[in-house]
A = this chain, B = another copy of it.
Amino acid sequence: MTDADDGPPTEILDGTYRALSEHGYADLTLNDIAAESDRSKSLIHYYFDSKDELIDTFLRYLYDRYTDHVNETAAGETNWKQLTSLLERLFDEDESEQQFRTVLLEVKAQAPYNEPIRERLVEFDAALFERLEAIITAGIESGEFDTSVDPDRAAECLTATIHGAHARQVAIHQSTDRVYETVVEYVGIHLAADGNQQVTH
């Protein structure tokens, strides 16, 4: 995303990201965001009437990054490869991924009390679910995945497992490695059409 003439500088949104990941939502202040974005509080006020409005714009900005990440594909990849690459990215433990998950957990905890935030988060969740479902559906059509697989249920269960693994990593520093291995094994055993099971190994 680049700065448009009529939009807020991305520095403010990037500063919000860093402030959220360092202080959490409960202790987030406009001062933190101003400091992290190297912009004045008055400039932030110029673009945003309220913290809610800033967070809403921030979440739309973050959503673009998230969907780029979730939908990333290399040309000519099989559905198997797309699914395993996606899982690999989603279970990646590098620092920037953990920072992203921390920010998302902070925002998630506001959702029960903040309807606009909840609406944005529904979109994040749907982006992941729909991507998983699309790969699985395409894989069934191409013969890579077993026809007995229900794409909806498989995608939903994977979505929940991924969310839970992320929350545990961020909140209690539990590595996602073991869950990743188990999920890859599950995908290999359950989704693979007969004779295709070696693909994940």
Residues of A that sit less than 8 Å from B by CB: 23-27, 102, 105-106, 108-113, 118, 121-122, 125, 152-154, 156-157, 159-168, 170-174, 176, 178-179, 181-183, 186, 189-190
Contact = CB atoms under 8 A, between A and B. Distances in A.
Contacts of A106: 109, 112
Chain multiplicity (copies): 2
Contacts of A102: 112
Given A24-B113, A109-B24, A154 B182 contact: yes
Nearest to A179: B160
Given A108-B109, A156-B182, A171 B26 contact: no
A171 B125 CA distance: 10
Nearest to A120: B172
A112 B27 CA distance: 12
A43 B80 CA distance: 61
Contacts of A154: 182
Contact of A164 (B25, B164, B186): B164
Nearest to A125: B172
A111 B170 contact: yes
Nearest to A129: B174
Contacts of A172: 111, 118, 121-122, 125
A152 to B, nearest CB: 7
A182 B108 CA distance: 24
A96 to B, nearest CB: 15
A108 to B, nearest CB: 4
Contacts of A109: 24-26, 105-106, 108-109, 171
A26 B126 CA distance: 26
A36 to B, nearest CB: 15
